Structure 1
Amino acid sequence: MSKNLIYSRTAIVAMLCLACWPVARWYVARASDGSDEPWGLAALAAALLFAPRTGWTEPLARGRLWLLCGLVAIYAASFVFVPPLGHALLFVTAIGIAVGRRGFPLAWWSLLVLSLPIIASLQFYLGYPLRLATTALCVPLLRLGGLHVTSEGTALHWAAETVIVDAPCSGIHMLWTGLFLAATLACWQRLDSHAAFRLLRRASFAVFVANVLRATALFCIESKVWPSPSWAHEGVGLVLFGVAALAIYAASISSTQPTAQEPVTP
Protein backbone atom coordinates (compact mmCIF):
# COMPACT_ATOMS: atom_id res chain seq x y z
CA MET A 1 0.00 0.00 0.00
CA SER A 2 1.51 3.32 -1.05
CA LYS A 3 2.24 6.10 1.42
CA ASN A 4 0.01 8.51 -0.51
CA LEU A 5 -2.95 6.17 -0.12
CA ILE A 6 -2.38 5.82 3.63
CA TYR A 7 -2.38 9.60 4.07
CA SER A 8 -5.17 10.27 1.56
CA ARG A 9 -8.32 12.09 2.59
CA THR A 10 -10.33 8.90 2.17
CA ALA A 11 -8.10 6.96 4.55
CA ILE A 12 -7.94 9.81 7.08
CA VAL A 13 -11.73 10.25 7.14
CA ALA A 14 -12.19 6.48 7.52
CA MET A 15 -9.75 6.42 10.45
CA LEU A 16 -11.48 9.40 12.08
CA CYS A 17 -14.84 7.64 11.80
CA LEU A 18 -13.35 4.50 13.32
CA ALA A 19 -11.67 6.39 16.16
CA CYS A 20 -14.79 8.43 16.94
CA TRP A 21 -17.37 5.67 16.53
CA PRO A 22 -19.07 6.52 19.89
CA VAL A 23 -20.20 9.78 18.26
CA ALA A 24 -22.12 7.81 15.62
CA ARG A 25 -23.69 5.63 18.31
CA TRP A 26 -24.75 8.70 20.31
CA TYR A 27 -26.08 10.39 17.15
CA VAL A 28 -28.30 7.43 16.27
CA ALA A 29 -29.54 7.18 19.86
CA ARG A 30 -30.39 10.88 20.08
CA ALA A 31 -32.03 10.89 16.65
CA SER A 32 -34.31 8.00 17.61
CA ASP A 33 -35.20 8.70 21.26
CA GLY A 34 -37.46 11.69 20.56
CA SER A 35 -35.49 14.06 22.83
CA ASP A 36 -34.66 16.37 19.93
CA GLU A 37 -36.22 17.35 16.64
CA PRO A 38 -34.97 15.33 13.65
CA TRP A 39 -34.22 18.50 11.69
CA GLY A 40 -30.54 17.64 11.67
CA LEU A 41 -31.19 14.94 9.08
CA ALA A 42 -31.95 17.67 6.53
CA ALA A 43 -28.61 19.36 7.30
CA LEU A 44 -26.84 15.99 7.07
CA ALA A 45 -28.41 15.37 3.66
CA ALA A 46 -27.29 18.83 2.52
CA ALA A 47 -23.76 18.19 3.81
CA LEU A 48 -23.60 14.93 1.85
CA LEU A 49 -24.94 16.71 -1.23
CA PHE A 50 -22.26 19.41 -1.08
CA ALA A 51 -19.41 17.11 -0.04
CA PRO A 52 -16.38 17.38 -2.34
CA ARG A 53 -16.46 15.01 -5.30
CA THR A 54 -12.74 15.13 -6.06
CA GLY A 55 -9.48 15.14 -4.16
CA TRP A 56 -10.21 12.13 -1.96
CA THR A 57 -7.08 10.28 -3.06
CA GLU A 58 -4.79 13.27 -2.51
CA PRO A 59 -2.47 13.09 0.52
CA LEU A 60 -3.27 15.41 3.39
CA ALA A 61 -0.80 18.20 4.16
CA ARG A 62 1.54 17.59 7.10
CA GLY A 63 0.19 20.60 9.01
CA ARG A 64 -3.35 19.28 8.80
CA LEU A 65 -2.24 15.84 9.94
CA TRP A 66 -0.65 17.31 13.07
CA LEU A 67 -3.78 19.37 13.72
CA LEU A 68 -5.95 16.27 13.40
CA CYS A 69 -3.66 14.39 15.78
CA GLY A 70 -4.14 17.18 18.30
CA LEU A 71 -7.93 17.07 17.96
CA VAL A 72 -8.01 13.29 18.35
CA ALA A 73 -5.79 13.60 21.43
CA ILE A 74 -8.19 16.16 22.93
CA TYR A 75 -11.10 13.88 22.06
CA ALA A 76 -9.48 10.93 23.85
CA ALA A 77 -8.28 12.91 26.87
CA SER A 78 -11.69 14.52 27.43
CA PHE A 79 -13.78 11.43 26.73
CA VAL A 80 -14.75 10.84 30.37
CA PHE A 81 -15.75 14.35 31.46
CA VAL A 82 -16.91 16.12 28.26
CA PRO A 83 -20.53 15.50 27.19
CA PRO A 84 -21.15 13.65 23.90
CA LEU A 85 -22.14 16.85 22.11
CA GLY A 86 -18.66 18.24 22.76
CA HIS A 87 -17.11 15.12 21.26
CA ALA A 88 -19.43 15.40 18.26
CA LEU A 89 -18.28 18.99 17.67
CA LEU A 90 -14.64 17.86 17.81
CA PHE A 91 -15.44 15.07 15.35
CA VAL A 92 -17.16 17.27 12.75
CA THR A 93 -14.35 19.82 13.10
CA ALA A 94 -11.82 17.10 12.38
CA ILE A 95 -13.85 15.99 9.37
CA GLY A 96 -13.92 19.59 8.10
CA ILE A 97 -10.13 19.86 8.42
CA ALA A 98 -9.61 16.54 6.67
CA VAL A 99 -12.00 17.24 3.80
CA GLY A 100 -11.19 20.90 3.14
CA ARG A 101 -8.79 21.47 0.27
CA ARG A 102 -8.27 25.24 0.38
CA GLY A 103 -8.58 26.46 3.92
CA PHE A 104 -11.29 25.43 6.35
CA PRO A 105 -14.70 24.77 4.68
CA LEU A 106 -16.74 26.87 7.10
CA ALA A 107 -20.04 26.66 5.20
CA TRP A 108 -19.84 22.88 4.84
CA TRP A 109 -18.69 22.49 8.45
CA SER A 110 -21.69 24.58 9.54
CA LEU A 111 -23.99 22.05 7.88
CA LEU A 112 -22.24 19.27 9.80
CA VAL A 113 -22.73 21.17 13.07
CA LEU A 114 -26.39 21.79 12.26
CA SER A 115 -26.81 18.09 11.49
CA LEU A 116 -26.10 17.31 15.14
CA PRO A 117 -29.05 17.09 17.56
CA ILE A 118 -28.37 20.54 19.04
CA ILE A 119 -31.78 22.23 19.12
CA ALA A 120 -32.66 20.99 22.62
CA SER A 121 -29.22 22.04 23.89
CA LEU A 122 -29.53 25.46 22.26
CA GLN A 123 -32.94 25.88 23.84
CA PHE A 124 -31.52 24.94 27.25
CA TYR A 125 -28.47 27.23 27.14
CA LEU A 126 -29.58 30.11 24.88
CA GLY A 127 -33.36 30.00 25.07
CA TYR A 128 -33.80 32.06 28.23
CA PRO A 129 -31.18 34.74 27.38
CA LEU A 130 -32.77 35.16 23.95
CA ARG A 131 -36.21 35.45 25.55
CA LEU A 132 -34.91 38.13 27.92
CA ALA A 133 -33.36 40.09 25.06
CA THR A 134 -36.50 39.74 22.95
CA THR A 135 -38.71 40.92 25.82
CA ALA A 136 -36.48 43.93 26.50
CA LEU A 137 -36.53 45.00 22.84
CA CYS A 138 -40.29 44.54 22.53
CA VAL A 139 -40.94 47.22 25.16
CA PRO A 140 -39.63 50.27 23.21
CA LEU A 141 -41.30 49.02 20.02
CA LEU A 142 -44.65 48.71 21.75
CA ARG A 143 -44.24 52.10 23.40
CA LEU A 144 -43.64 53.61 19.97
CA GLY A 145 -47.11 52.32 19.16
CA GLY A 146 -48.60 54.17 22.12
CA LEU A 147 -48.78 51.24 24.55
CA HIS A 148 -47.27 51.84 27.98
CA VAL A 149 -45.80 48.36 28.33
CA THR A 150 -43.45 47.24 31.09
CA SER A 151 -41.39 44.09 31.30
CA GLU A 152 -40.55 41.78 34.15
CA GLY A 153 -38.23 38.96 33.20
CA THR A 154 -39.83 37.41 30.14
CA ALA A 155 -43.29 38.84 30.89
CA LEU A 156 -44.82 41.89 29.21
CA HIS A 157 -47.41 43.84 31.22
CA TRP A 158 -49.94 46.28 29.80
CA ALA A 159 -53.13 47.42 31.50
CA ALA A 160 -54.60 44.22 32.93
CA GLU A 161 -52.89 42.00 30.37
CA THR A 162 -49.77 39.90 30.85
CA VAL A 163 -48.16 38.11 27.93
CA ILE A 164 -45.30 35.69 28.49
CA VAL A 165 -42.51 35.39 25.96
CA ASP A 166 -42.33 31.60 26.22
CA ALA A 167 -39.82 29.06 24.92
CA PRO A 168 -41.14 28.94 21.32
CA CYS A 169 -40.72 32.72 21.18
CA SER A 170 -37.00 32.44 21.92
CA GLY A 171 -36.50 32.00 18.19
CA ILE A 172 -34.21 28.96 18.45
CA HIS A 173 -36.05 27.06 15.73
CA MET A 174 -36.10 30.14 13.52
CA LEU A 175 -32.38 30.66 14.16
CA TRP A 176 -31.56 27.06 13.24
CA THR A 177 -33.56 27.33 10.03
CA GLY A 178 -31.98 30.67 9.12
CA LEU A 179 -28.46 29.33 9.68
CA PHE A 180 -29.30 26.21 7.69
CA LEU A 181 -30.50 28.36 4.81
CA ALA A 182 -27.39 30.54 4.99
CA ALA A 183 -25.00 27.58 5.14
CA THR A 184 -26.78 25.89 2.23
CA LEU A 185 -26.62 29.05 0.12
CA ALA A 186 -22.95 29.52 1.01
CA CYS A 187 -22.19 25.97 -0.15
CA TRP A 188 -24.30 26.39 -3.29
CA GLN A 189 -22.48 29.60 -4.21
CA ARG A 190 -19.09 28.24 -3.10
CA LEU A 191 -18.33 31.11 -0.76
CA ASP A 192 -14.98 31.11 0.97
CA SER A 193 -14.80 31.00 4.76
CA HIS A 194 -14.70 34.79 5.20
CA ALA A 195 -17.77 35.33 3.01
CA ALA A 196 -19.56 32.38 4.60
CA PHE A 197 -18.90 33.73 8.10
CA ARG A 198 -20.20 37.13 7.05
CA LEU A 199 -23.35 35.53 5.63
CA LEU A 200 -23.95 33.43 8.76
CA ARG A 201 -23.53 36.53 10.92
CA ARG A 202 -26.01 38.49 8.81
CA ALA A 203 -28.43 35.57 8.87
CA SER A 204 -28.30 35.44 12.67
CA PHE A 205 -29.00 39.17 12.88
CA ALA A 206 -31.87 39.00 10.37
CA VAL A 207 -33.49 36.13 12.25
CA PHE A 208 -33.10 37.87 15.62
CA VAL A 209 -34.73 41.05 14.30
CA ALA A 210 -37.54 39.01 12.74
CA ASN A 211 -38.11 37.22 16.03
CA VAL A 212 -38.30 40.49 17.98
CA LEU A 213 -40.85 41.82 15.49
CA ARG A 214 -42.77 38.56 15.73
CA ALA A 215 -42.90 38.75 19.53
CA THR A 216 -44.04 42.38 19.32
CA ALA A 217 -46.82 41.51 16.89
CA LEU A 218 -47.87 38.49 18.96
CA PHE A 219 -48.20 40.68 22.05
CA CYS A 220 -50.65 42.87 20.17
CA ILE A 221 -52.54 39.79 19.02
CA GLU A 222 -52.63 38.03 22.39
CA SER A 223 -53.62 41.19 24.29
CA LYS A 224 -56.41 41.86 21.76
CA VAL A 225 -54.90 45.19 20.67
CA TRP A 226 -55.22 43.85 17.13
CA PRO A 227 -58.38 41.86 16.48
CA SER A 228 -57.08 38.86 14.56
CA PRO A 229 -58.27 35.52 13.19
CA SER A 230 -57.20 32.27 14.85
CA TRP A 231 -54.46 31.61 12.30
CA ALA A 232 -52.76 34.98 12.83
CA HIS A 233 -50.37 33.61 15.47
CA GLU A 234 -48.76 31.16 13.05
CA GLY A 235 -49.21 33.47 10.07
CA VAL A 236 -47.19 36.29 11.62
CA GLY A 237 -44.28 33.95 12.28
CA LEU A 238 -44.33 32.56 8.75
CA VAL A 239 -44.48 36.00 7.14
CA LEU A 240 -41.65 37.44 9.23
CA PHE A 241 -39.46 34.41 8.72
CA GLY A 242 -40.15 34.69 5.00
CA VAL A 243 -38.89 38.28 5.13
CA ALA A 244 -35.78 37.14 7.02
CA ALA A 245 -35.21 34.37 4.47
CA LEU A 246 -35.39 36.89 1.63
CA ALA A 247 -32.87 39.08 3.47
CA ILE A 248 -30.55 36.08 3.87
CA TYR A 249 -30.87 35.25 0.18
CA ALA A 250 -30.15 38.87 -0.78
CA ALA A 251 -27.10 38.85 1.50
CA SER A 252 -25.86 35.66 -0.15
CA ILE A 253 -26.22 37.23 -3.60
CA SER A 254 -24.32 40.33 -2.49
CA SER A 255 -21.56 38.09 -1.12
CA THR A 256 -20.88 36.80 -4.62
CA GLN A 257 -20.65 40.25 -6.20
CA PRO A 258 -17.08 41.48 -6.86
CA THR A 259 -15.96 44.61 -5.06
CA ALA A 260 -13.87 47.46 -6.43
CA GLN A 261 -10.79 45.88 -4.82
CA GLU A 262 -11.61 42.48 -6.32
CA PRO A 263 -12.15 42.95 -10.05
CA VAL A 264 -13.52 40.11 -12.10
CA THR A 265 -10.82 38.35 -14.06
CA PRO A 266 -11.80 37.19 -17.52
Structure 2
Amino acid sequence: MVYSQQAQAHTSLALIKALVALGVLLAGYWSAWQWFLYRLAESPVEVFCLLGVLIFFGGLFFRGLILSKQIYAPPMLFLSSLFLVYGLLSIFQAPNIVTSGVAFSSLCLFFYCVSAGRMPPAGFWGVCLLAAPIVPSLQFVLGYPARMLSAIITIPMLQAQGFAVSREGVYLKWQSELLQFDAPCSGISMLWAALFFGSCVAYLLQLKWRRYLLFCFAACLACIIGNVVRACSLFYLQNGVLSDNKIPAFIDADTLHQAVGAVSFLAIISVLIAALLLMQTREGLMK
Protein backbone atom coordinates (compact mmCIF):
# COMPACT_ATOMS: atom_id res chain seq x y z
CA MET A 1 0.00 0.00 0.00
CA VAL A 2 2.83 2.36 0.94
CA TYR A 3 4.70 1.41 -2.24
CA SER A 4 1.59 2.12 -4.31
CA GLN A 5 1.18 5.54 -2.72
CA GLN A 6 4.86 6.34 -3.33
CA ALA A 7 4.57 5.29 -6.98
CA GLN A 8 1.44 7.41 -7.39
CA ALA A 9 3.16 10.40 -5.81
CA HIS A 10 6.18 9.89 -8.08
CA THR A 11 3.92 9.78 -11.14
CA SER A 12 2.07 12.91 -10.03
CA LEU A 13 5.36 14.77 -9.54
CA ALA A 14 6.56 13.63 -12.97
CA LEU A 15 3.27 14.78 -14.50
CA ILE A 16 3.62 18.24 -12.93
CA LYS A 17 7.18 18.52 -14.26
CA ALA A 18 6.02 17.36 -17.68
CA LEU A 19 3.18 19.89 -17.87
CA VAL A 20 5.48 22.72 -16.75
CA ALA A 21 8.10 21.69 -19.33
CA LEU A 22 5.42 21.49 -22.03
CA GLY A 23 4.25 25.01 -21.22
CA VAL A 24 7.82 26.30 -21.36
CA LEU A 25 8.40 24.60 -24.72
CA LEU A 26 5.22 26.03 -26.23
CA ALA A 27 5.98 29.54 -24.94
CA GLY A 28 9.74 29.55 -25.54
CA TYR A 29 9.50 28.36 -29.13
CA TRP A 30 6.51 30.56 -29.95
CA SER A 31 8.15 32.19 -32.98
CA ALA A 32 8.90 28.74 -34.41
CA TRP A 33 5.27 27.66 -34.04
CA GLN A 34 4.18 30.87 -35.77
CA TRP A 35 6.46 30.05 -38.70
CA PHE A 36 5.06 26.52 -38.93
CA LEU A 37 1.51 27.89 -38.95
CA TYR A 38 2.50 30.29 -41.72
CA ARG A 39 3.91 27.44 -43.81
CA LEU A 40 0.80 25.40 -43.11
CA ALA A 41 -1.41 28.21 -44.41
CA GLU A 42 0.77 28.78 -47.48
CA SER A 43 1.27 25.15 -48.48
CA PRO A 44 -0.47 22.45 -46.40
CA VAL A 45 1.24 19.66 -48.37
CA GLU A 46 4.68 20.76 -47.16
CA VAL A 47 3.87 20.16 -43.50
CA PHE A 48 1.89 16.95 -43.97
CA CYS A 49 4.76 14.77 -42.69
CA LEU A 50 5.44 17.19 -39.84
CA LEU A 51 1.86 17.00 -38.60
CA GLY A 52 1.91 13.22 -38.89
CA VAL A 53 5.08 12.92 -36.81
CA LEU A 54 3.76 15.38 -34.23
CA ILE A 55 0.49 13.46 -33.91
CA PHE A 56 2.41 10.19 -33.52
CA PHE A 57 4.74 11.34 -30.73
CA GLY A 58 2.03 13.43 -29.11
CA GLY A 59 -0.17 10.33 -29.14
CA LEU A 60 2.50 8.46 -27.16
CA PHE A 61 2.32 11.13 -24.47
CA PHE A 62 -1.47 11.16 -24.19
CA ARG A 63 -1.63 7.37 -24.33
CA GLY A 64 0.66 7.18 -21.32
CA LEU A 65 -1.29 9.91 -19.57
CA ILE A 66 -4.79 8.53 -20.15
CA LEU A 67 -4.46 4.76 -20.61
CA SER A 68 -1.42 3.51 -18.71
CA LYS A 69 -1.25 6.53 -16.36
CA GLN A 70 2.53 6.25 -16.50
CA ILE A 71 4.46 9.49 -17.08
CA TYR A 72 8.22 9.97 -16.70
CA ALA A 73 10.04 13.17 -15.86
CA PRO A 74 11.28 15.01 -18.98
CA PRO A 75 15.06 15.30 -19.63
CA MET A 76 15.34 18.91 -18.48
CA LEU A 77 19.11 19.18 -19.03
CA PHE A 78 18.91 18.00 -22.63
CA LEU A 79 15.86 20.14 -23.38
CA SER A 80 17.63 23.15 -21.86
CA SER A 81 20.64 22.49 -24.09
CA LEU A 82 18.43 22.44 -27.17
CA PHE A 83 16.77 25.67 -26.06
CA LEU A 84 20.22 27.25 -25.68
CA VAL A 85 21.11 26.13 -29.21
CA TYR A 86 17.84 27.62 -30.44
CA GLY A 87 18.63 30.92 -28.74
CA LEU A 88 22.13 31.09 -30.25
CA LEU A 89 20.79 30.29 -33.71
CA SER A 90 18.18 33.03 -33.33
CA ILE A 91 20.81 35.56 -32.23
CA PHE A 92 22.91 34.81 -35.31
CA GLN A 93 19.77 34.99 -37.48
CA ALA A 94 19.84 31.42 -38.71
CA PRO A 95 17.16 30.51 -41.29
CA ASN A 96 13.71 29.80 -39.90
CA ILE A 97 13.86 26.24 -41.21
CA VAL A 98 16.89 25.57 -38.95
CA THR A 99 15.57 27.17 -35.77
CA SER A 100 12.13 25.63 -36.28
CA GLY A 101 13.75 22.22 -36.77
CA VAL A 102 15.37 22.54 -33.34
CA ALA A 103 12.04 23.57 -31.80
CA PHE A 104 10.14 20.70 -33.40
CA SER A 105 12.81 18.17 -32.36
CA SER A 106 12.64 19.46 -28.78
CA LEU A 107 8.87 19.04 -28.65
CA CYS A 108 9.01 15.51 -30.09
CA LEU A 109 11.85 14.63 -27.70
CA PHE A 110 9.70 15.79 -24.79
CA PHE A 111 6.75 13.65 -25.91
CA TYR A 112 8.97 10.59 -26.41
CA CYS A 113 10.91 10.82 -23.15
CA VAL A 114 7.94 11.43 -20.87
CA SER A 115 6.13 8.44 -22.39
CA ALA A 116 9.07 6.01 -22.77
CA GLY A 117 11.32 7.07 -19.89
CA ARG A 118 14.51 6.90 -21.97
CA MET A 119 16.34 8.73 -24.74
CA PRO A 120 15.12 7.92 -28.26
CA PRO A 121 16.99 5.80 -30.83
CA ALA A 122 19.01 7.31 -33.66
CA GLY A 123 16.21 7.13 -36.21
CA PHE A 124 14.11 9.48 -34.08
CA TRP A 125 16.33 12.46 -34.93
CA GLY A 126 16.18 11.72 -38.62
CA VAL A 127 12.39 11.52 -38.51
CA CYS A 128 12.09 14.85 -36.67
CA LEU A 129 14.54 16.79 -38.82
CA LEU A 130 13.30 15.40 -42.13
CA ALA A 131 9.63 15.91 -41.24
CA ALA A 132 10.13 19.67 -41.40
CA PRO A 133 9.39 21.32 -44.79
CA ILE A 134 13.03 21.31 -45.89
CA VAL A 135 12.69 20.06 -49.48
CA PRO A 136 12.33 23.56 -51.06
CA SER A 137 15.39 24.75 -49.13
CA LEU A 138 17.37 21.67 -50.16
CA GLN A 139 16.35 22.20 -53.78
CA PHE A 140 17.54 25.79 -53.60
CA VAL A 141 20.91 24.94 -52.03
CA LEU A 142 21.73 21.51 -53.48
CA GLY A 143 19.50 21.28 -56.55
CA TYR A 144 21.90 22.58 -59.19
CA PRO A 145 25.01 20.78 -57.84
CA ALA A 146 23.01 17.53 -57.68
CA ARG A 147 21.82 17.97 -61.27
CA MET A 148 25.36 18.69 -62.40
CA LEU A 149 26.72 15.62 -60.58
CA SER A 150 24.08 13.37 -62.14
CA ALA A 151 24.85 14.73 -65.60
CA ILE A 152 28.60 14.23 -65.13
CA ILE A 153 28.15 10.60 -64.03
CA THR A 154 25.58 9.82 -66.73
CA ILE A 155 27.83 10.92 -69.62
CA PRO A 156 30.51 8.16 -69.31
CA MET A 157 27.81 5.51 -68.77
CA LEU A 158 26.14 6.40 -72.07
CA GLN A 159 29.46 6.85 -73.87
CA ALA A 160 30.52 3.37 -72.75
CA GLN A 161 27.46 2.04 -74.59
CA GLY A 162 28.53 3.69 -77.84
CA PHE A 163 26.51 6.92 -77.73
CA ALA A 164 28.29 10.14 -78.69
CA VAL A 165 26.78 12.10 -75.83
CA SER A 166 28.19 15.36 -74.54
CA ARG A 167 27.24 17.66 -71.68
CA GLU A 168 26.23 21.29 -71.94
CA GLY A 169 25.67 22.54 -68.40
CA VAL A 170 22.90 20.33 -67.02
CA TYR A 171 21.86 19.15 -70.50
CA LEU A 172 22.79 15.93 -72.29
CA LYS A 173 23.32 16.55 -75.99
CA TRP A 174 22.93 13.69 -78.44
CA GLN A 175 22.73 14.37 -82.16
CA SER A 176 20.38 17.38 -82.40
CA GLU A 177 18.40 16.72 -79.23
CA LEU A 178 18.86 17.87 -75.65
CA LEU A 179 17.84 16.02 -72.48
CA GLN A 180 17.62 18.39 -69.55
CA PHE A 181 18.33 17.56 -65.92
CA ASP A 182 15.55 19.76 -64.52
CA ALA A 183 14.68 20.27 -60.83
CA PRO A 184 12.80 16.94 -60.43
CA CYS A 185 15.82 15.17 -61.96
CA SER A 186 18.13 16.49 -59.24
CA GLY A 187 17.14 13.58 -57.02
CA ILE A 188 16.69 15.81 -53.95
CA SER A 189 13.06 14.79 -53.42
CA MET A 190 14.01 11.14 -53.91
CA LEU A 191 16.82 11.45 -51.38
CA TRP A 192 14.56 13.17 -48.84
CA ALA A 193 11.86 10.51 -49.20
CA ALA A 194 14.38 7.66 -48.94
CA LEU A 195 15.97 9.12 -45.81
CA PHE A 196 12.61 9.92 -44.21
CA PHE A 197 11.01 6.52 -44.75
CA GLY A 198 14.30 4.82 -43.89
CA SER A 199 14.51 6.82 -40.66
CA CYS A 200 10.96 5.75 -39.78
CA VAL A 201 11.94 2.11 -40.25
CA ALA A 202 15.20 2.64 -38.32
CA TYR A 203 13.19 4.17 -35.47
CA LEU A 204 10.81 1.21 -35.37
CA LEU A 205 13.76 -1.22 -35.45
CA GLN A 206 15.60 0.77 -32.73
CA LEU A 207 18.83 0.87 -34.74
CA LYS A 208 21.90 2.26 -33.01
CA TRP A 209 23.83 5.27 -34.26
CA ARG A 210 26.58 3.40 -36.11
CA ARG A 211 24.17 1.38 -38.22
CA TYR A 212 21.87 4.33 -38.75
CA LEU A 213 24.68 6.54 -40.06
CA LEU A 214 25.80 3.69 -42.30
CA PHE A 215 22.27 3.51 -43.65
CA CYS A 216 22.22 7.28 -44.35
CA PHE A 217 25.45 6.99 -46.32
CA ALA A 218 24.06 4.03 -48.26
CA ALA A 219 20.84 5.96 -48.95
CA CYS A 220 22.77 8.90 -50.43
CA LEU A 221 24.82 6.56 -52.60
CA ALA A 222 21.75 4.59 -53.70
CA CYS A 223 19.88 7.77 -54.65
CA ILE A 224 22.79 9.01 -56.76
CA ILE A 225 22.98 5.67 -58.58
CA GLY A 226 19.20 5.52 -58.93
CA ASN A 227 19.09 9.04 -60.32
CA VAL A 228 21.74 8.20 -62.92
CA VAL A 229 19.87 5.03 -63.92
CA ARG A 230 16.69 7.09 -64.22
CA ALA A 231 18.48 9.59 -66.48
CA CYS A 232 19.79 6.79 -68.69
CA SER A 233 16.30 5.27 -68.89
CA LEU A 234 14.81 8.61 -69.92
CA PHE A 235 17.52 8.97 -72.55
CA TYR A 236 16.58 5.61 -74.06
CA LEU A 237 12.85 6.28 -73.92
CA GLN A 238 12.71 9.88 -75.06
CA ASN A 239 15.14 9.46 -77.94
CA GLY A 240 13.64 6.23 -79.28
CA VAL A 241 16.83 4.23 -78.82
CA LEU A 242 15.06 1.00 -77.93
CA SER A 243 12.79 1.01 -80.98
CA ASP A 244 12.26 2.70 -84.30
CA ASN A 245 9.46 4.81 -82.86
CA LYS A 246 9.59 7.18 -79.94
CA ILE A 247 7.14 7.33 -77.04
CA PRO A 248 3.49 7.55 -78.19
CA ALA A 249 2.11 11.07 -78.51
CA PHE A 250 -0.52 10.57 -75.80
CA ILE A 251 2.22 10.12 -73.18
CA ASP A 252 3.64 13.55 -72.40
CA ALA A 253 7.07 14.26 -70.96
CA ASP A 254 5.78 14.95 -67.44
CA THR A 255 3.98 11.59 -67.26
CA LEU A 256 7.08 9.81 -68.53
CA HIS A 257 9.30 11.53 -65.96
CA GLN A 258 6.92 10.66 -63.14
CA ALA A 259 6.57 7.02 -64.19
CA VAL A 260 10.31 6.41 -64.51
CA GLY A 261 10.93 8.32 -61.28
CA ALA A 262 8.33 6.26 -59.40
CA VAL A 263 9.86 2.98 -60.57
CA SER A 264 13.36 4.16 -59.59
CA PHE A 265 12.15 5.34 -56.19
CA LEU A 266 10.35 2.08 -55.41
CA ALA A 267 13.47 0.12 -56.34
CA ILE A 268 15.65 2.29 -54.08
CA ILE A 269 13.22 2.10 -51.15
CA SER A 270 12.97 -1.69 -51.49
CA VAL A 271 16.76 -2.08 -51.42
CA LEU A 272 17.20 0.27 -48.46
CA ILE A 273 14.45 -1.30 -46.35
CA ALA A 274 15.90 -4.74 -47.10
CA ALA A 275 19.30 -3.44 -45.96
CA LEU A 276 17.77 -2.09 -42.73
CA LEU A 277 16.09 -5.40 -41.99
CA LEU A 278 19.38 -7.20 -42.67
CA MET A 279 21.17 -4.85 -40.25
CA GLN A 280 18.56 -5.56 -37.59
CA THR A 281 18.85 -9.32 -38.14
CA ARG A 282 22.64 -9.24 -37.85
CA GLU A 283 22.44 -7.06 -34.74
CA GLY A 284 20.01 -9.53 -33.18
CA LEU A 285 22.29 -12.47 -33.96
CA MET A 286 25.28 -10.71 -32.40
CA LYS A 287 23.50 -10.22 -29.06
Whether the TM-score (by the shorter chain) exceeds 0.5 is yes
CA distance in 2, matches of 1:50, 1:248: 24
Cα shift readout 1:105-153 (whole Å, capped 9, x = no counterpart): 4312222222212111111111101000000011011112210111121
1:114-153 equivalences in 2 (<5 Å)? 114-153=130-169
**Displacement of 1:200 after TM fit?**
2.5
Gaps of 5+ in 2: 1-8
1:228 to 230, 244, 247: 247
Q: Partner amino acid for 2:36? A: Y
Q: Which of 222, 228, 243 is the equivalent residue of 1:212?
A: 228
Instruction: Say whether residues 1:88 and 2:118 are aligned partners.
Output: no
Matched, 1:45 2:45: no
Q: Deviations over 1:160-202 (max 9, x none)?
A: 1221111111112211211121011112222233322222222
Question: How far 1:232 moved relative to its partner?
Answer: 4.4
Residue 211 (structure 1) shift: 1.0
Partner residue, 1:248: 272
Say if 2:219 is the partner of 1:203. Answer: yes
1:1-266 → structure 2 map (5 Å cutoff): 4-5=14-15, 7-8=17-18, 10-34=19-43, 38-46=45-53, 48-49=55-56, 52=60, 57-61=71-75, 63-78=77-92, 81-95=93-107, 98=110, 99-100=112-113, 102-103=118-119, 105-226=121-242, 227-229=246-248, 230=251, 232-258=256-282, 263-264=286-287
Moved more, 212-221 or 46-55: 46-55
State the secondary structure of the residue aligned to 1:191.
coil
What is the CA–CA distance in structure 2 between the aligned matches of 1:161 and 1:199, rounded to whole Å? 38
Conserved? CA contact 1:221–1:233, under 8 Å: no
TM norm structure 1 = 0.83
Distance (whole Å) between structure 1 residues aligned to residue 278 and residue 72 of structure 2 = 33
Taking the aligned partners of 2:177 and 2:149, their CA distance within structure 1 comes to 20
Give the letter for the 1:28 counterpart: L
CA deviations on 1:82-105 (whole Å, 9 max, x unpaired) are 221121122134346544555554
Q: Give the structure-2-normalised TM-score.
A: 0.77
Q: Which has the larger radius of gyration?
A: 2
After the TM superposition, which of the residue ranges 199-208 and 150-159 deviates more from structure 2? 199-208
Aligned residues: 258
Q: Which residue of 1 aligns with 2:6?
A: none
In 2, are the aligned partners of 1:96 and 1:105 still within 8 Å (CA)?
no
Amino acid in structure 2 at the alignment position of 1:18:
A
- Distance of aligned partners of 1:69 and 1:259 in 2 relative to their CA distance in 1, 3 Å threshold: closer
Give the direction of change, closer, same or farther, for the CA distance of 1:65–1:236 in structure 2 (3 Å limit): closer
Matched to 2:247, the amino acid is: S
Is the CA contact 2:53–2:131 (under 8 Å) kept in the aligned structure 1? no
Q: How far apart, CA to CA, are the structure 1 residues paired with 2:174 and 2:223?
A: 26
Q: Match of 1:92, as an amino acid? A: F
Q: Which moved more, 1:198-207 or 1:173-182?
A: 198-207
CA distance in 2, matches of 1:40, 1:30: 7
TM-aligned CA deviation for residue 244 of structure 1: 0.5
C-alpha contact (below 8 Å) 1:71/1:94 kept by paired residues: no
Native 8 Å contact 1:50 1:187 kept in 2: no
Tell me which protein shows more helix as a share of its residues: 2
- 1 CA distance for matches of 2:127 and 2:134? 12
Structure 1 letter corresponding to 2:42: D
SS at match of 1:195: helix
Matched residues in 1 for 2:54 and 2:213: separation? 17
Q: Which runs of 5 or more structure 1 residues have no equivalent in the other structure?
A: none
Specify the SS of the correspondent of 1:117: coil
50-59 vs 216-225, greater mean Cα deviation: 50-59
